Amino acid sequence: MATQRPLFLAAPGVANAQSVSFSQFLQWSDQPVYVLDKDNDLNIAQLARQNASDIVKVQPEGPYLLGGHSYGGAVAMEVAMLLESWGHEIGAVLVRTVFVTNILKFEIILTFETSVENS
C-alpha cells in the first residue's frame, strides 16, 4: 500500500497553535500533516525559502501539497512558487482567508496562466 503524500501547512501570522488546531481538524484522515515552523524575524520570502528547504528534506520530490490560513496562505503561495522555480511539481495549494497584495496577486495569476498554457 502506497503512503499518501504529506500536506505541509504554513503557520498563520498569529501563532503556530492555529495551524496545529487546523491539523487536528484533519485527524479524520490518514494524510500525514506537517506544520511548518514560523520565524517572526523573517519576511515572507525568507520564511518561504526556509520552509521550502525543510519540505524538500522531508519529501525530496513533488508533487507537493501545501496549505495555509491567513498569513500562512501567503507563505504557502510563496513556497509553491519557489519550489516551482527549483523545478519541483506542485500538486495543490490550499489557501484560506489570505490577504493578497497586488504583487503577490500578479504572481499568482502569472503562475496560474503559465501552468495552463503549458498544459
CATH number of the domain residue 21 falls in: 3.40.50.1820
Calculate the average pLDDT of the chain.
Answer: 76
Give the range of the structural domain holding residue 79, as residue numbers without chain letter.
7-117
Q: Number of structural domains, the chain?
A: 1
Asked if residue 1 belongs to a domain, the reply is: no
Buried b (16+ CB within 10 A) or exposed e, 67-100: bbbbbbbbbbbbbbbbbbeeebebeebebeebee
Q: How confident is the model at residue 37 (pLDDT cuts 50, 70, 90)?
A: confident
Counting residues of the chain whose pLDDT is more than 90, the rounded percentage is 34
Indicate the angle between helix axes 71-85 and 44-58, nearest 10 degrees.
60
Q: Bigger pLDDT: 66 or 23?
A: 66
CB atoms within 10 A of CB 119: 5
Per DSSP, the three-state class of 94 is: strand
Rounded Cα distance, 30 and 18, in Å: 20
| pLDDT given at position 103 | 47
Asked if residue 53 belongs to a domain, the reply is: yes
Asked if residue 2 belongs to a domain, the reply is: no
Asked if residue 63 belongs to a domain, the reply is: yes
Asked if residue 36 belongs to a domain, the reply is: yes
| pLDDT given at position 57 | 96
Over the stretch 61-118, which tens digit does the pLDDT of each residue have?
999 999 887 788 889 999 999 999 999 999 999 887 655 555 444 444 444 444 445 5
pTM for the full predicted model = 0.73
Asked if residue 98 belongs to a domain, the reply is: yes
Q: Which residues pair with 62 in a beta bridge?
A: none
pLDDT(29) > 50: yes
Question: Which stretches of 1-119 are assigned E, i.e. beta strand?
Answer: 7-10, 33-35, 64-69, 90-96
63 cis-preceded (ω within 30 degrees of 0)? yes
Asked if residue 84 belongs to a domain, the reply is: yes
